[in-house]
């Protein structure tokens, strides 16, 4: 019996997925573990597998178009099988273009899909050296990524069907010779001649759309207030040197902040809570998200059970997750479930800033750089390494006194790192 392949929910904020590439066409034989399409979500571009065997009978939307979560992407069944009843049973109306192509005959509905793919096919033909392009089997997404990275796709070994090059092959290809080409591949901004106006319009990616919706919703629905504190990091700097002499993984200052936050959240569980509309949920687990900048925007990998992990374990998890986020290999369980978030711009030479709360969290910590600063101690002016932090709080959940006590505990751990080892 024919089965509908529906758009999966690939992230907690996802409403629709955009087809970045179809890897199969109508009439192809499909195995359950074949990648039939790449889908761009608000978080990353992911591969979709059908988990059924059969023949691809129907493609619901062409490349570059969106499909709502649980909407029909494709239909797989026996060759020649009638699947019209599946489409008829779909509650949502299909677009006029697709409706016209879904006539009553068994084989007729399959005809428009190849035509739609043929319409999008001229893009590879526009490439120089069309003959070479034909010899290299690669998805358009892989070609685009190779071009952006400055990678000669002819040198990449494909792991897809029949040696086809897919995005993970380009991501894992890192020869030393590729570095100079990457700089060459980056397009330069074309400034206008003197006295001439100009601009460039960039279409919104799914990630950027969701960032806009989610953070605008947070900023204008959650009553934010901000608490700023200065942390003297001299002892943390000394402790980090000793820790890194012993740790199998390099521990960063951000890793130390994550650990300190996790321990402070255990002492102040009210900060580890979420506004749920008509009740407040106090989480009994501590999952800390760290905002990471990627080409399309921001993604928040989550270190699960951070309070139960050592500094070296946190450092190892953070490095792995950040690498996955930047190479688009991160999976939904790895960027969802946060109960508290940290945004660190210290490495960008930012003194201090305020961050917008990342729902469903009730707080987010903004971390600035560590800088030599004159401070007064016992009536004398001394120079200390100071880091400024700002806690953004949702006043519906966290009051000023609660947030302040959390920061005091956090300050204690960072200024006396030995407390994090107990």
Q: Which of 88, 317, 399, 413 is catalytic?
A: 399
Cβ atoms 117, 22 nearer than 8 A? yes
52 burial type by CB count under 10 A (0-12 exposed, 13-18 middle, 19+ buried): middle
Q: Which fold has domain 127-185?
A: Dihydrolipoamide Transferase (4.10.320)
Q: For the chain (length 422 residues), average pLDDT per consecutive 10? A: 87 80 93 89 79 92 89 92 86 44 36 35 36 55 74 77 74 57 50 79 74 79 95 97 94 97 97 93 97 86 96 96 88 91 96 94 97 96 98 96 98 96 76
SS3 41: coil
399 is catalytic: yes
The domain ranges of the chain are 3-120, 127-185, 207-420
**Paired residues of 56 in beta bridges:** 76
Domain 207-420 of CATH type 1.20.1050.10 = no
- CATH (residue range 3-120): 2.40.50.100
Rounded-to-integer distance, Cα 50 and Cα 280, Å: 38
Rounded-to-integer distance, Cα 170 and Cα 138, Å: 10
Radius of gyration for the alpha carbons in the chain, expressed in angstroms and rounded: 26
Would you state the torsion angle of the CA atoms of residues 213, 215, 221, 227, taken in this order, to the nearest 10 degrees? 180
Tell me the whole-structure pTM to 2 decimals.
Answer: 0.64
Helix (H) or strand (E) holding 216: helix 206-221
Among candidate residues 223, 360, 215, the one with its CA nearest the CA of residue 281: 360
pLDDT value of residue 295: 78
Q: Which of 12, 161, 234, 395 is catalytic?
A: 395
pLDDT value of residue 196: 83
């Amino acid at each position: 019996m024919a089965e509908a392949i529906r758009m999966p929910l690939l992230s907690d904020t996802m409403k629709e997925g955009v087809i970045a590439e179809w890897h199969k066409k109508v009439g192809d034989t499909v195995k359950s573990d074949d990648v039939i399409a790449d889908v761009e979500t608000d978080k990353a571009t992911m591969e979709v597998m059908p988990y059924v065997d059969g023949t691809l009978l129907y493609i619901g939307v062409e490349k570059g178009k969106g499909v709502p979560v649980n909407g029909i992407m494709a239909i797989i069944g026996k060759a020649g099988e009638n699947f019209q009843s599946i489409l008829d049973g779909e509650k949502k109306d299909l677009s006029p273009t697709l409706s016209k192509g879904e006539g009553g005959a068994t084989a007729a509905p399959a005809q428009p899909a190849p035509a739609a793919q043929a319409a999008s096919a001229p893009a590879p033909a526009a490439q120089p050296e069309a003959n070479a392009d034909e010899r290299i089997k690669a998805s358009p997404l892989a070609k685009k990524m190779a071009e952006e990275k400055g990678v000669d796709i002819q040198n990449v070994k494909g792991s897809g069907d029949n040696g086809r090059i897919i995005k993970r092959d380009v991501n894992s290809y890192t020869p030393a010779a590729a570095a100079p080409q990457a700089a060459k591949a980056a397009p330069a901004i074309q400034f206008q001649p003197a006295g001439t106006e100009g601009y460039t319009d960039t279409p919104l990616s799914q990630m950027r759309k969701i960032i806009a919706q989610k953070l605008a919703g947070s900023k204008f629905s959650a009553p934010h207030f901000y608490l700023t504190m200065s942390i003297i990091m001299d002892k943390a700097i000394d402790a980090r040197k000793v820790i890194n002499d012993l740790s199998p993984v390099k521990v960063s200052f951000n890793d130390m902040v994550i650990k300190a936050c996790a321990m402070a959240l255990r002492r102040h569980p009210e900060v580890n809570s979420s506004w749920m509309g008509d009740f407040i949920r106090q989480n009994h687990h501590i999952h800390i998200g760290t905002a990471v900048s990627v080409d399309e925007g921001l993604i928040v990998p989550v270190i699960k059970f951070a309070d139960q992990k050592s500094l070296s374990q946190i450092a190892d998890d953070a490095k792995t997750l950040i690498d996955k986020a930047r190479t688009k290999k991160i999976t939904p369980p790895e960027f969802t479930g946060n109960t508290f978030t940290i945004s660190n711009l210290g490495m960008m030479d930012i003194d201090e800033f305020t961050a917008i709360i990342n729902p469903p969290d009730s707080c987010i910590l903004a971390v600035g750089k560590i800088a030599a600063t004159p401070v007064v101690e016992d009536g004398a002016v001394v120079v200390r390494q100071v880091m400024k932090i700002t806690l953004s709080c949702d006043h519906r959940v966290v009051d000023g006194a609660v947030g302040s006590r959390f920061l005091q505990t956090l300050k204690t751990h960072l200024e006396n790192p030995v407390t994090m080892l107990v």
